[in-house]
Amino acid sequence: MGRRDRHHYGVLTLDEINRRISERAHALGVDIECFQSNHEGALVDKLQEGAGSIDGVVINAGALTHYGLSLKDALTDAGVPVVEVHLSNIHAREEWRRHSVLADTALAQIAGLGWRGYTAALEALAGIIGDETG
């Protein structure tokens, strides 16, 4: 982040994006944990470690969006609402980017809003979870 194609991914670093997400979470009164890995197994492990203690997931799976079947299974097994986020509009890019193997595990998919997609997903997820528990 901050070094990739700025047209598609913006100029903010991962730390800057995480800071903005954390600030929005604080304003919403929700607890979050930001986690990043380039390894599918680490993402699966993180989801499995959170079993029973997480209420929802906002995920940008990057290229794993298109082929991460073990990640898909872990999201399904988590049994919590999931919102899939993409910085760029994957539907306006190369054909191979347009299909998400995760999409049917997610309540929603937000694409093309840049870093704002994360805060939009967080707001939506907090509202959905609040409706379910409220």
The residues annotated with a catalytic role in the active site are 9, 86
Neighbouring residues of 50: CB distance < 8 A, sequence distance ≥ 6: 78
β-pairing, 82-86 with 57-59?
parallel
CA–CA distance, 17 with 2 (Å, rounded to integer): 10
Element (H, E) at 86: strand 82-86
What does residue 6 show for φ and ψ, rounded to 5 degrees?
Answer: -65, -30
Sheet containing strand 82-86, edge to edge, reads 57-59, 82-86, 108-111
